[in-house]
A and B are shown apart, each in its own frame.
Chain A
Amino acid sequence: MTVQSQAEPSAGLLAASCAVPIVESERILLGHGSGGQLSAELLREVIVPALGAAARTGAMEDGALIHVDGHDLVMSTDSFVVNPRFFPGGDIGSLAVHGTINDLAMMGALPVALTLALVIEEGFPIDELRAICESVGRAAVAAGVPVVTGDTKVVGRGDADGLFINTTGLGRRLPAASPSAAQARVGDVIVLSGPIGLHGTTVMSTRAGLGFESDIASDSQPLHRLVEAMVDLAGSAIHVMRDPTRGGLASALNEIAQASGVQICLEESAVPIPPTVAAACEILGLDPLHVANEGCLVAIVAPEVVDALLAVMQTLPEGSGACAIGAVIDATVARVVMSTLVGSRRIVDMLIGEQLPRIC
């Protein structure tokens, strides 16, 4: 039975009996930027159609693969609007470098060059701007990628909230790499590079003043060296790579399940959630699977390479917590499920809009 045929007969009934909400369809909600279902809707229904023939079709990836004179180049762009701008484990500057490098890396590419564009609000402290740009510089040097061009705009007081940063990255794809969101296959294993939930929980608890700040830090870090080591070992046996940023692990895996048309099953007991993240999520009423990460990746790989791949990942600091968390179980339905601790099974859905903390 299709959704349409179920929906039609009850539409009139409901309009009469239930308070049908006026769903906001004319204005942007904060949830449209959450990386969940609302973000997907905005792309699908507004942005991509408006671009018309200019929009490239195909699976939505972290970056775009471009063939130029026999070279496989990758481009990705990301804007950073984090509040607070400084948080344990990083700041908006280092995040702007790591975020774009990681989007390139998830395409199997090493970074070649970065751009840096700043939108600054009138009245912004120059000392803070300097500190943030120094952080950009340190992060770029540490990652071995130059900042080659940039742009600076200043807007009137109140026209932006402090500082927004955009970085665009150009990368060169490793010859042995060919990951794509559409390549997950039945029997593949889900590999995670480390614990989840650290970045989002750190930012949210810093914002809410929960007092976890001393015990928790963002995982923000570049992942291209880890990806290089993984690709060197396993090459095309790495079918998919994603960094589960906004929307968390649940949204990243749902996107993969949709793009590949497969059912993914996670083992709840195998997903590494640090105790402080678990505690903060309990207090805030959030699901760690929906919380943003900035320094871990999820890979979907052929089963025969898993053991060797995990061993290689664990030799690098950014992959020291690497583990297998589940498998692609069949292609009957495109979704993500989880084997729960008590031995039952539930569906793991994408985040819808904003994460809304529960009352109690």
Chain B
Amino acid sequence: MKYVAEYRDPILAKQLLAEINTAVTKPWSLMEVCGGQTHTIVRQGIDDLLPAGLRMVHGPGCPVCVTPLELIDKACAIAARPDVIFTSYGDMLRVPGSQTDLLALKARGSDVRTVYSPMDSVRVAIDNPDRQVVFFAVGFETTAPANAMAVMQAKELGLRNFSVLVSHVLVPPAMTAILDDPECGIDAFLAAGHVCAVMGWREYEPIAEQYRVPIIVTGFEPLDLLEGILMAVRQLESGRATVENQYIRAVQRMGNEHAQSAIRRVFAITDRTWRGVGSIPESGLMLAPEYADFDAATRFEVSGIVTAENPACIAGDILRGVKVPTDCTAYGTLCTPRMPLGAPMVSSEGTCAAFYNAGRGRPALALTATAGSR
């Protein structure tokens, strides 16, 4: 596949690994921010091939994982209403709320539908004028522009039966929150390539400078990650701390200004609770006043639903990179992708699920499901 196969070449991968081996003289901890990057690293076993002392820490960049429990409960409350068609990206459906999840609601008669784009959701609203159609607008800066476009389109079309339940989060405030944590041992970041494709990397420059931390805008294929790691290591070894772009085929310094203007028009910056991490100031997006009519939380009066996050849950430590899934006593036993206890086990981008699916630190016994069945 053009522009993918080239970035999975085994010979080039081995060359990059050799260069990393040569470049490393001290132990370093690198955090890949995005769940898509974690997925590739764990799936390809890249971290197992790195020299001893060079540690990959898996960051908070799985949108499914950081969506607060309270919002899942709000989504379930809305989806349970008979007048509602609840639409969502697929991997939000299995995230456990405090009482149920969206797939179980669907099995009990709620109209819950998977869509591939928020525009599909607008189409569902046009096709079902007598039903209320809600889209679960989650994700980082990557999904925000399309969600903004859907809301703008719904407003232009005068759709009264379309709304969005918003839980957008922003990467830079999460990075600074991690760096401000006294337990933080992160020496460099691999920034999320697709977030930067939208936002550019200007907002990372002050972080690199203030915290003296190299930030490498990195893609998602094996060679992207290996090259990003090499660039980070070279900066660390030479005492530099700047923003560099590995993902040159997709990212420019200014980002995509059309996408940014759509975000600015529809959304406003707000404080946001990250599941397992807690509240981070100015780390999320909410609907701007001009589009507040499209807020599903207000329309269906679920703002009153309050579900406390328990700070004892290890998911928070995993999302901050302080612990790895195999540190958790429930990992692979009580908590599996089949019966996830916490969100990082749900999406394949979640650190726990990525570990589990790649068979990390898992007793072989956990595999003995059954013999075949058809």
Contact = CB atoms under 8 A, between A and B. Distances in A.
Contact of B312 (A6, A16, A20): A16
Contacts of A54: none
B44 A44 contact: no
A112 interface: no
Given A35-B374, A340-B44, A358 B1 contact: no
Contact of B342 (A19, A103, A258, A275): A19
Contacts of B107: 24, 27-30
A337 interface: yes
A17 B308 CA distance: 11
B214 interface: no
Interface in B214-259: 222, 226
Interface string B84-111: 0000011111101111110110111000
B90 A17 contact: no
A20 B341 contact: yes
Contacts of B349: 358-359
Chain A contact-residue range equals 35 or more
Interface string B347-366: 11100000011110011111
A43 B373 contact: yes
Nearest to A29: B107
A343 to B, nearest CB: 6
Interface stretch (A114-122, A168-176, A302-310, A345-353): A345-353
A346 B43 contact: yes
B240 to A, nearest CB: 27
Contacts of B36: 360
Nearest to B13: A342
B45 A340 contact: yes
B103 A359 contact: no
Given A27-B108, A40-B369, A346-B45, A60 B374 contact: yes
A16 to B, nearest CB: 7
A210 to B, nearest CB: 8
Contact of A358 (B49, B91, B100): B91
Interface in A230-284: 254-256, 258-259, 269, 275, 278-279, 282, 284
A259 B368 CA distance: 10
Nearest to A7: B333
Interface string B176-220: 000000000000000000100000000000000000000000000
Contacts, number: 232
Contact of A14 (B17, B138, B334, B367): B334
A24 B114 contact: no
A358 to B, nearest CB: 5
B339 interface: yes
Interface residues of B, number: 82
A16 B308 CA distance: 12
A256 B372 CA distance: 7
A2 interface: yes
Contact of A6 (B94, B333, B339): B333
Contacts of A59: 371-372
Contacts of A19: 69, 96-98, 307, 310, 313, 341-342
A18 B8 contact: no
B48 interface: yes
Nearest to A17: B312
Contact of B116 (A29, A62, A254, A357): A357
Given A181-B371, A358-B89, A21 B97 contact: yes
Nearest to A351: B337
A58 B14 CA distance: 46
Nearest to A182: B371
Contact of A17 (B93, B138, B313): B313
B195 to A, nearest CB: 9
Contact of B1 (A10, A37, A279, A357): A279
A22 interface: yes
B90 A358 contact: yes
A285 B364 CA distance: 27
Interface string B136-179: 00111011000000000000000000000000000000000000
A18 B46 contact: no
Nearest to A346: B358
B371 A357 contact: no
Given A21-B339, A28-B107, A337 B359 contact: yes
Contacts of B49: 342-344
24 contacts: A7-B330, A7-B333, A13-B329, A14-B330, A16-B312, A28-B107, A29-B104, A29-B106, A30-B107, A41-B370, A59-B371, A181-B372, A287-B348, A333-B364, A342-B13, A342-B222, A345-B45, A346-B42, A346-B44, A353-B103, A356-B114, A357-B114, A358-B347, A360-B142
The 10 A-B pairs at the shortest CB distance, nearest first, are namely A344-B45, A347-B359, A21-B96, A255-B372, A356-B90, A24-B104, A17-B312, A10-B329, A357-B90, A60-B372
Interface of B: 1, 4, 8-10, 13-14, 17, 36, 42-46, 48-49, 63-64, 69, 89-94, 96-101, 103-104, 106-108, 114, 116, 138-140, 142-143, 194, 222, 226, 307, 310, 312-313, 315, 329-330, 333-335, 337-342, 347-349, 356-359, 362-374
Given A17-B310, A359-B91, 6 more contacts: A10-B330, A19-B96, A30-B103, A282-B1, A340-B45, A356-B94
